[in-house]
């Protein structure tokens, strides 16, 4: 596993690097050799934030930890990653058994106007089925996921509903 550690507004000491590598390399037994971990450490006032992004066979697994102590933030993010990696492994095993996740076919159109844009992000979109998009959404632990539907070729959005199910937004034709 390739581990990249970056510091933002903080110098990353050799001891901290070794601690992070020791904690993150324990996921090697669950993941493939081509996996990559990107660790970003940042600090604001008295709060330390550790953000870890695992890239595994085209899937992304992300977790974040925030505490006043740098080492406890690492422990917190590793704990969150453990749950997500185990969830990922279960999903891979279920796919091998040809089990599929059922998602609701009802579409929801909730429009919320934003007062201002405070963050910009770019993502690589890749073709996948809605079921794969649900897997990615759960692994990233986010509220929505944008992807190219491999069946229609259109850009779609999958999102978590308040009732625990998922919604799919497709463009109208």
Higher pLDDT, 52 or 30: 52
Residue 32 is predicted with a pLDDT of 66
Where does the chain show beta strands of DSSP type E?
2-8, 36-44, 47-56, 59-67, 127-128, 144-149, 155-160, 166-169
What are 60's two structure tokens? 């992304």
Residue 169 is predicted with a pLDDT of 92
Quick one: fold of 100-173? SHC Adaptor Protein (3.30.505)
> Would you tell me how many other CB atoms lie within 10 Å of the CB of residue 164?
6
Residue 152 sits at the vertex; the CA angle it makes with 148 and 154, to the nearest 5 degrees, is 40
Give pTM, 2 decimals.
0.58
Residue 141 sits at the vertex; the CA angle it makes with 136 and 143, to the nearest 5 degrees, is 90
What are 136-168's pLDDT values in tens digits? 888 887 888 899 999 889 999 999 988 889 999
| CB-based contacts of 9-16 (< 8 A; 24+ apart in sequence) | 9/42, 9/43, 9/44, 10/41, 10/42, 10/43, 10/48, 12/41, 16/41, 16/70, 16/71
Checking if the pLDDT of 84 tops 80, the result is: yes
The confidence band for 55, taking pLDDT boundaries of 50, 70 and 90, is: confident
Domain limits, the chain: 2-96, 100-173
CATH of 2-96, one of 1.10.3720.10, 3.30.160.100, 3.60.15.10, 1.25.40.80: 3.30.160.100
What are 98-151's pLDDT values in tens digits? 544 444 444 444 444 546 777 777 777 889 999 988 888 888 878 888 999 998
- 50 forms bridges with which residues in the sheet? 41, 65
- 156 forms bridges with which residues in the sheet? 147
What are 2's two structure tokens? 């390739």
Higher pLDDT, 144 or 93: 144
Query: HSE of 120 in the Cβ direction (CA atoms, 13 Å)?
Result: 0
Question: Residue 48, exposed/middle/buried by CB under 10 A (0-12, 13-18, 19+)?
Answer: buried
């Amino acid at each position: 596993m390739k581990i990249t550690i970056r510091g933002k507004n903080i110098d990353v000491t050799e001891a901290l690097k070794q601690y992070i590598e020791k904690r993150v390399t324990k996921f090697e037994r669950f993941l493939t050799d081509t996996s990559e971990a990107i660790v970003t450490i940042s600090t604001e006032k008295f709060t330390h934030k550790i953000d870890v992004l695992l890239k595994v066979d085209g899937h992304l697994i992300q977790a974040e930890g925030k505490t006043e102590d740098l080492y406890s933030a690492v422990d917190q993010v590793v704990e969150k990653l453990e749950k997500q990696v185990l969830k990922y492994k279960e999903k891979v095993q279920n796919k091998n058994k040809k089990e599929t996740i059922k998602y609701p076919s009802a579409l929801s159109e909730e429009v919320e106007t934003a007062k201002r844009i405070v963050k910009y992000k770019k993502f690589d979109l890749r073709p996948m089925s809605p079921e794969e998009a649900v897997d990615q959404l759960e692994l990233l632990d986010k509220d929505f996921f944008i992807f190219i539907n491999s069946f229609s070729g259109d850009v779609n959005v999958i999102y978590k509903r308040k009732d625990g199910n998922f919604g799919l937004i497709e463009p109208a034709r």
